[in-house]
Structure 1
Amino acid sequence: MLKFAANLSMMYTEVPFLERFALAANDQFKGVEFLFPYEYSAAEIARQLSLNGLEQVLFNAVPGNWDAGERGLACLPGRQAQCLAGVEKALEYAVVLGNRRIHFMAGIVPDDLNQALAHEYYCQNLSRAAALAAQAGVTLLIEPINPFDMPGYFLTTQQQAHQVIELLNLSNIKVQMDLYHCQIVEGDLSRKLATYLPGGRVGHVQIAGVPHRHEPDNGELNIGYLFGLLRQLDYQHWIGCEYRPAGRTREGLAWLEQERRKNEGEKRAAMP
């Protein structure tokens, strides 16, 4: 059965952040994710999770100075100490929130830095960050992001991400496969899913409509077909709904109701 997590950085934005947990629970989400928790104490967020019976499934490590345009520090020279300090802070939150997956952002490659050196810095920092995460029982996720939404980002393709994982060969590093980014950069989503999911190196999937990043059934993707393929491939992890609703969040959840009906059908079929 497929399980969906509401992304509270993008969904339910008609109310303040801490009020979004209740709205997600009212719409029968069992898990939530978001970009960054650091404006709030871990205790405040944990309280909302507990009150609403929600599981925290993912958030990002500290990305550097987001307002100044930083999107992670891992591929940048001279930023290792700050990069790892950001991971340590994320792990402190993860322990309180019961969160077992953290997205480790790669960063924007400086114009004067060649890709080979950026790759070297990235792998060094990812390896050290993974060692820290392992002590807390946390898996780090690396996500290819399309260059239109995030120009200059180090990691852009599924192949690149999986090559990094093969090189480092650490069990607590997996790929965060966002179908929105993958469609924009590479397309051929069915083949990508069939290629990469069976290897066990994809630890999280995210969805959004293409090209406008609205509901997943809004745009060029045949999302129902892709959900069927995820079921066929026996995908067991969460699917993050990282999209910006075209209107009010609840009004755009017809796609989710349809998938829940399919889940109920699976449950009945599995009963003895």
Structure 2
Amino acid sequence: MIRLAANLSMMFNEWPFMERFRAARDNGFDAVEFLFPYDFAADEIAAALQKNGLTQALFNLPPGDWEAGERGIAALPDRMLEFRSGVALALRYAEIFGTRRLHVMSGRAERRDAAACSAYRDALRYACDEAGPAGIEIMIEPINRRDMPGYFLDDFAFAADLIAELARPNLRLQFDIYHRQILQGDVIRGLQALFPLIGHVQIAGVPERHEPGSGELDDIRILRELEALGYQGFVGCEYRPAAGTVAGLAWRDRI
């Protein structure tokens, strides 16, 4: 059975952020994810989760200065102290929420830059070692450079090799179907080949990032394949509703 998590950074934007939890529950979701919680007190979000009977599936480590265009700092050699502080902050939030998966954004850097590669490896080792005792998995997600120009981690094969190289049991792949199609295509075979590494899945229609099934892929078939593979985690609905969140939820009836 596919378990969906509403992405509250993209969905239910018709409501203020703290009211989106209730909106998600009222529209049939029992889990949520979002980009970042750090503008709110952890206890406030935890109370919203508990009140609405929701599981917090995933959120991201602090990304640096998001408004200035930063998209993570893990691959930035001169930001390691800030990165480590961000790990500690994210783990505090995760403990309060009961979240078991955190996404580390690499940031904008070139993979040909040896210093960036070394910093990224060191950052992931550190995050995994800090998160491991709490039973928390660290996710890495290849993201396409059309949406996020200059993003360091933009290749699924590189991500898989890195997971194998670092050999941390709690380092996992975040497989975003939208990004996979734009980056490399071959989505179903990619899921099959990488399935042992996958800790979290996200979905959106390609190319407009609207509701699943609204673009060039048969997203329902892909979800059925994911189910057939035995996936037990959540599928994050990381899409931008085309014409209102609630109006666009009928796609779920096809699963």
Give TM-score, length-normalised by structure 2: 0.98
Partner of 1:4: 4
Partner of 1:216: 212
Partner of 1:256: 252
Looking at structure 1, the residues matched to 163 and 142 of structure 2 have their Cα atoms a distance apart, in angstroms, of 13
SS in 2 for 1:124: helix
Letter in 1 for 2:62: V
Q: Deviations over 1:205-227 (max 9, x none)?
A: 00000000000111101011111
Looking at structure 2, the residues matched to 253 and 97 of structure 1 have their Cα atoms a distance apart, in angstroms, of 26
Quick one: structure 1 residues 49 and 182, their matched pair in 2 at CA, closer, same or farther if it must change by over 3 Å?
same
Letter in 2 for 1:54: L
TM alignment of 1:205-244, pairs within 5 A: 205-244=201-240
Alignment partner for residue 241 of structure 2, among 230, 239, 245?
245
Looking at structure 2, the residues matched to 15 and 55 of structure 1 have their Cα atoms a distance apart, in angstroms, of 19
8 A Cα contact 2:220 2:254, kept in partner: no
The ranges of structure 1 where at least 4 consecutive aligned residues each deviate by more than 4 angstroms after the TM superposition are none
SS in 1 for 2:45: helix
Is 1:191 aligned with 2:200? no
What are structure 1's unaligned runs of at least 5 residues?
260-272
Is 1:87 aligned with 2:87? yes
Q: Deviations over 1:8-62 (max 9, x none)?
A: 0000001100000011001111100000000100011011101100000100000
TM alignment of 1:102-251, pairs within 5 A: 102-109=102-109, 114-197=112-195, 199=196, 201-251=197-247
Looking at structure 1, the residues matched to 216 and 148 of structure 2 have their Cα atoms a distance apart, in angstroms, of 21
Q: Deviations over 1:162-212 (max 9, x none)?
A: 111000000111000000000001001011011111x2x100000000000
Task: State percent identity of aligned pairs.
Answer: 49
Give TM-score, length-normalised by structure 1: 0.92
Looking at structure 2, the residues matched to 190 and 157 of structure 1 have their Cα atoms a distance apart, in angstroms, of 16
Is 1:54 aligned with 2:54? yes
Looking at structure 2, the residues matched to 240 and 224 of structure 1 have their Cα atoms a distance apart, in angstroms, of 14
8 A Cα contact 2:33 2:59, kept in partner: yes
Letter in 2 for 1:215: E
Root-mean-square deviation (CA, aligned residues, Å) is 1.1
State the shift of 1:136 in Å. 2.1
Looking at structure 1, the residues matched to 229 and 132 of structure 2 have their Cα atoms a distance apart, in angstroms, of 27
Looking at structure 2, the residues matched to 228 and 157 of structure 1 have their Cα atoms a distance apart, in angstroms, of 24
Looking at structure 2, the residues matched to 85 and 216 of structure 1 have their Cα atoms a distance apart, in angstroms, of 36
